[in-house]
Structure 1
Amino acid sequence: MSIRYGLLALLESGPRYGSQLRAEFESRTGATWPLNIGQVYTTLGRLERDGLIGPEGGGDAKQQLYAITEAGRRELGAWFARPVDRSQPSRDELAIKLAMAVGSPGVDVRGIIQGQRRHTLKVMQDYTRLKARALAAAQEPGGDAGQDIAWLLVLEQLIFHAEAEARWLDHCEARLVRLAAERRAAAPTAATRAVPAEAQESRDSFAERGAAS
């Protein structure tokens, strides 16, 4: 759905060819979510079917020029005003992996967490370096301020997400350590409780032998 509305947003500023839309979408997002040209034209076909865009004069035999319609502008405005639904989260591979690892015998869950944390921190450092370059580019004269800000917003979202994931991994590891400590603390108690029962059984057996003699 974000591609559909992303293309509508680009068309609001003027007619575009499919190849232009692909290039501008990737430019604004820093190619974080690359599009293939087939995906672009499939989406454009659906937008045209729904009456949100239409063909515009000025195209050539090889490429079709597209323009947003009034219905498309209304739909785009509604999308901008509507909060993104977070009540139905997408499947997260890392969360699923840890959930499965906890219940799997012989799996080093802490090892998985530590390996993932190293990767996440490295990715966060890479994003931070890209942010520094983007900030420097935004300060250069003659640049496209709007495009630079758009890319910065995407980068900062990725950095915040990586930071949150690293904190969550810290929390997961701390919880596992605490659980292991609680189990170790409970083990001697269970053993202590077992000793009197064994002693009583021995006494009973001795008493029975004494009675028989």
Structure 2
Amino acid sequence: MSIRHGLLTLLERGPRYGARLRSEFESRTGSTWPLNVGQVYTTLGRLERDGLIAQQGADRAGHVLYALTEAGRTELRAWFARPVERMSPPRDELAIKLAMAVGAPGVDVREVVEVQRHHLTEAMRTYARLRARALAPAPRHRDEVAALLVVERLIFRAEAEVRWLDHCEALLLRLARAAATEPPPVGGRP
């Protein structure tokens, strides 16, 4: 998730201070990815260092306002124009866990799969409640529509992960059956 570009997008609408950016980011993403206000200010510092934003005075309450620079607008347009990279995916803890569980002494891989499946079922229930709340009444404001898109992405991702777990379980069962029918190794070695 690009907090950096998310903040740039929010600043395109006009100058904002850090806590307001945090609130707007969370509203736009349906509060599914809470931000620490320190993380926001650290990111703002980097964006300012990189010339993508600049301080633009303060509001009546004394909050420092940040505004998008022309370089920031250019970066934002470039971000929206390029695809999200999939050739170098981030490490996936679940895939690593299952890969390590295969053959690990005392680990039942199918139990690891089942625990994750149960967790995903609970997560999907939570996401379904969030979706129902977002749909009743029909979303009208851009933040409501944006939050609905994020929640539906989480639902689709969880559903895909459940399908992958089903596939892993079926593959493990097939391999276990095949191993059970193999003749014993020659010379008594595994």
Q: Normalization by structure 2: what TM-score?
A: 0.91
Give the structure 2 partner of residue 28 of structure 1: 28
> Does the 8 Å CA contact 1:28/1:151 hold for their aligned counterparts?
yes
Question: Relative to total residues, which structure has the larger helix share, 1 or 2?
Answer: 1
Aligned amino acid, residue 142 of structure 2: G
The answer on whether the counterparts of 1:138 and 1:145 sit within 8 Å (CA) in structure 2 is no
| Alignment equivalent of 1:167, drawn from 158, 163, 184 | 163
Shift of 1:32: 1.4
Q: Quick one: which of 174, 177, 184 aligns to 1:181?
A: 177
- Count of equivalent residues: 187
Q: Please give the secondary structure, in 1, of the residue aligned with 2:54.
A: strand
2:72 maps to a residue whose letter is G
Taking CA–CA contacts closer than 8 Å with sequence separation of 6 or more, which of the two structures ends up with the larger relative contact order? 2
Bigger Cα Rg: 1
**Partner residue in 1 for 2:101:** 101
The CA RMSD measured in Å over matched residues stands at 2.0
1:5-44 aligned within 5 A: 5-44=5-44
Report the alpha carbon displacement of residue 36 of structure 1 after superposing the two structures with TM.
Answer: 1.1
Residues 196-207 of structure 1 aligned to structure 2 (within 5 Å): none
| C-alpha separation in 2, matches of 1:61 and 1:130 | 34
Q: Which runs of 5+ in 2 are unaligned?
A: none
- Report the 3-state secondary structure (helix = DSSP H, G, I; strand = E; otherwise coil) of the residue aligned with 1:83: coil
- TM-score, with length taken from structure 1: 0.82
**TM-superposed deviation, 1:58:** 4.4
Give yes or no for contact 1:137–1:148 (8 Å, CA) kept in 2: no
Q: Is the 8 A contact 1:54 1:67 kept in 2?
A: yes
C-alpha contact (below 8 Å) 2:54/2:66 kept by paired residues: yes
2:30–2:144: 8 Å Cα contact kept in structure 1?
A: no
Once residues 50 and 137 of structure 1 are traced to their aligned partners in structure 2, the CA distance between those partners, rounded to angstroms, is 42
Greater mean deviation of Cα atoms: 166-175 or 25-34: 25-34
Aligned partner of 1:133 in structure 2 is: 133
In the alignment, the residues of structure 2 paired with residue 35 and residue 78 of structure 1 have an alpha-carbon distance, to the nearest angstrom, of 24
8 Å CA contact 2:9–2:76 kept in 1: the answer is yes
Does the 8 Å CA contact 1:26/1:35 hold for their aligned counterparts? yes
Is the Cα contact below 8 Å between 1:127 and 1:158 reproduced in 2? yes
Match of 2:147 among 148, 151, 160: 151
Could you tell me how far 1:61 is from its partner in structure 2? 7.4
Cα deviation digits, residues 75-107 of structure 1 (max 9, x gap): 100000011111111111111111111021221
Query: Which amino acid in 2 is paired with 1:41?
Result: Y
Aligned-partner Cα distance in 2 for 1:83–1:178 = 37
Identical counterparts, % of pairs: 65
Which amino acid in structure 1 is aligned with residue 4 of structure 2?
R
Counterpart code for 2:27: S
* Aligned amino acid, residue 44 of structure 1: L
